[in-house]
Chains A and B, each alone.
Chain A
Amino acid sequence: MSPAVRAFRSFFRSGLRWKLSAAIAVVSALVALALSLVVHNAARVSMINSTRDVQDERVQSALRIYESTGRQVFGVRLDDPSLPRELRQYAAKGQRATYVQENAHGAPTVWAETPADEHKVLSLKSTFTDRYSVLVDLDQALVAGSLAVVGVGTALGVLIGGRMSRRLRKAATAARKVADGDTEVRVREAIGGRRVRDETDELARAVDAMADALQLRLEAERRVTADIAHELRTPLTGLVTATELLPPGRPAELVRDRVHALRTLVEDVLEVARLDGAAEQADLQEVALGEFVRRRVQALAPDAKVVVDDDALVQTDPRRLERILGNLLANAARHGRPLIEVVVDGPFVRVRDHGPGFPADLLREGPSRFRTGSSDRSGSGHGLGLTIATGQARVLGARLTFRNAAPEEGGGAVAQLLLPRG
């Protein structure tokens, strides 16, 4: 594909505003050109015709004067050798005629001839100059007018298209916010409410209705999940306790292991439901981050290495912070490879492993429930760990981000938590 074609294509994929104004410009230019051509030609034809009439009358009166006095007036010539061939033919037939001789440059020459006595031909020629300059002025006016029309049209296109594209852009921004979970945003309000009633307004209303419907359905689903998990909890507690009464042995071990997994899952689902419900509140206190992380990591993952580059005092909820750390470490242990490093650097806590790193979709969209941290699903995780960590970070007013270390640094997944300072 040549660069020109590519530029052309990319233009047509670009903004609505420019497409609209380009279309208006092209159409108005074509209309102005056509009109100008018609006007120019009509003016020219009418001028030439009137000039022919004048020449014809002159040559007739010159003939009368010549026949009565023998004088040649008005600059008529007898048997002009430069008389055009076409006029000679008419003269030979004894007919009076006029002729317009086009010149390559400048104004045409208008001829008139009339046969005189003794097979002589009386002719008159005149250039069209003064009249022609009127035509040039007319052309200039037409060009100026056309340019003005194109300019105003394009400007109008930019204005109208700009308004529309601005509204659509605002709508897109608002829709993106809705997609990011901001349930307060209304697309219709974002584009300026009910002031304008056009298709953009219709679109905004449709998007809002869709968002509401989805929100309701999501809410219902969330409630059902939370209710189920909640209802499961009491029988599960009985099950956990009853399992411990089983006589020791491999079967009891297997049952205990699965009951433990089930219990973790139910608790995690409940936690996610609570975090989604946005009713969670942090129990804030000041925590010396270095010491806190060192102690917790020692208990949660004794093989992990803790480095405190720069200790900081942060305002946080220690139980939630512990939960985040626990889930990040569990994720690193499950999907990454040792060594797991935890670095405290001011209000930042980084958990890094040396495994294959986070999958691309997690980096792109953030963690989502029931997607494991690694693309092979052989692992035992159910994918709620990072969702919970992100949700808890939100409750803490902290930011949890995920990235992969560059291959030259040894690769691996890096989760970084930024806590608000104390």
Chain B
Amino acid sequence: MAATHVLFVEDDDVIREATTLALERDGFRVTAAPDGLTGLDAFRGERPDLALLDVMVPGLDGVSLCRRIRDESTIPVIMLSARADSIDIVLGLEAGADDYVTKPFDGAVLVARMRAVLRRFRAASQADEDDGGALLSFGDIEIDPEGLEVTRGGERLALTPTEMRLLLEFAGAPGTVLSRDRLLERVWDYDWGGDTRVVDVHVQRLRAKVGQDRIETVRGFGYKLKA
């Protein structure tokens, strides 16, 4: 299997070089860009497997870049942000990022987050080739868990791999309340310490696609799929 190709957009020279070296040592192929516009060009020219975007970069900022990438692709996107800038984190997630890592980050943590999101993505893309299996249906939503296709009223929905994993998690236990922690564990592979806002924003995004009341909020506990 060819090395995973990562697009890394970061304006600080030392962080960019050191992270590139660290990722390359871990077996990734890295295309690094110092600003958003260069990053967008690199995304279009090189078709990377994953994007790692710093929120605060000159030119086109990370959040806008994320939105542009999402318009064209479902590749995993991880945002890099300082812990303080919590609004940036939410904006990044709303723009379609799958996860985020706060700066200063450990290389090991970053790689773990990247591998987790790649696993979801690979599972989704591999399933695409393998058709057939029982369809799950909830109202006007139909899910093909093998082919990983979701239709609403007969129309195919474009879900990112993370949204797909999330929906499958709900579909696996319809009517059961799933806590944010459990979803973080099962969908994002966080053992602990994940940010539950990642779940909240993804649920919002999923709702926008499958219908607002399909997924119900259970106050204090989490979410459940209405059968």
A residues at B contact (CB < 8 Å)? 233-242, 244-245, 263, 267, 270-271, 274, 283, 285-288, 291-292, 295-296, 298-300, 313, 318-319, 322, 422
| B19 in contact with A241 (CB, 8 Å) | yes
| A233 in contact with B197 (CB, 8 Å) | no
Cβ-closest chain B residue relative to A318: B196
What are 15 contact pairs spanning A and B, CB under 8 A? A237-B12, A237-B103, A239-B104, A240-B107, A241-B14, A241-B15, A241-B105, A245-B25, A270-B84, A274-B84, A283-B197, A287-B220, A288-B220, A299-B192, A313-B220
Distance in angstroms between the alpha carbons of A17 and B227 in the assembled complex: 76
Q: For chain B, residues 17 to 56, give those with C-beta under 8 angstroms from any C-beta of chain A.
A: 18-19, 21-22, 25
Give chain B nearest CB distance to A405 CB in angstroms.
29
Cβ-closest chain B residue relative to A298: B192
Distance in angstroms between the alpha carbons of A235 and B86 in the assembled complex: 21
Question: Given A237-B15, A244-B22, A286-B219, is A295 in contact with B181 using a C-beta cutoff of 8 Å?
Answer: yes
Distance in angstroms between the alpha carbons of A241 and B195 in the assembled complex: 23
Distance in angstroms between the alpha carbons of A285 and B203 in the assembled complex: 15
Question: Given A270-B84, A274-B84, is A245 in contact with B21 using a C-beta cutoff of 8 Å?
Answer: yes
Distance in angstroms between the alpha carbons of A314 and B62 in the assembled complex: 35
Q: Does B179 contact A (CB under 8 A)?
A: yes
Contacts beyond the supplied A245-B21, A245-B25: 20 A-B pairs with Cβ under 8 Å: A233-B104, A235-B14, A237-B105, A238-B12, A241-B14, A241-B15, A241-B19, A241-B104, A245-B22, A271-B84, A274-B84, A287-B220, A288-B220, A291-B179, A296-B192, A299-B192, A300-B192, A318-B180, A319-B197, A322-B193
Q: Does B129 contact A (CB under 8 A)?
A: no
Q: Does B106 contact A (CB under 8 A)?
A: yes
Give chain A nearest CB distance to B47 CB in angstroms.
26
Q: For chain B, residues 177 to 227, give those with C-beta under 8 angstroms from any C-beta of chain A.
A: 179-181, 191-193, 195-197, 200, 219-221
Distance in angstroms between the alpha carbons of A223 and B159 in the assembled complex: 44
| B107 in contact with A241 (CB, 8 Å) | yes
Give chain A nearest CB distance to B99 CB in angstroms.
15
Residue picked from B83, B84, B86, most chain A C-beta under 10 Å: B84
Residues of B within 8 A of A295 (CB): 181, 192
Distance in angstroms between the alpha carbons of A291 and B86 in the assembled complex: 25
| B15 in contact with A245 (CB, 8 Å) | no
Give chain A nearest CB distance to B67 CB in angstroms.
22
Distance in angstroms between the alpha carbons of A237 and B10 in the assembled complex: 12
Residues of A within 8 A of B196 (CB): 285, 318-319
Cβ-closest chain B residue relative to A226: B84
Distance in angstroms between the alpha carbons of A262 and B11 in the assembled complex: 22
Residues of A within 8 A of B106 (CB): 240, 244
Residues of B within 8 A of A244 (CB): 18, 22, 106-108
Give chain A nearest CB distance to B59 CB in angstroms.
18
Q: Does B82 contact A (CB under 8 A)?
A: yes
Give chain B nearest CB distance to A308 CB in angstroms.
15
Cβ-closest chain B residue relative to A262: B104
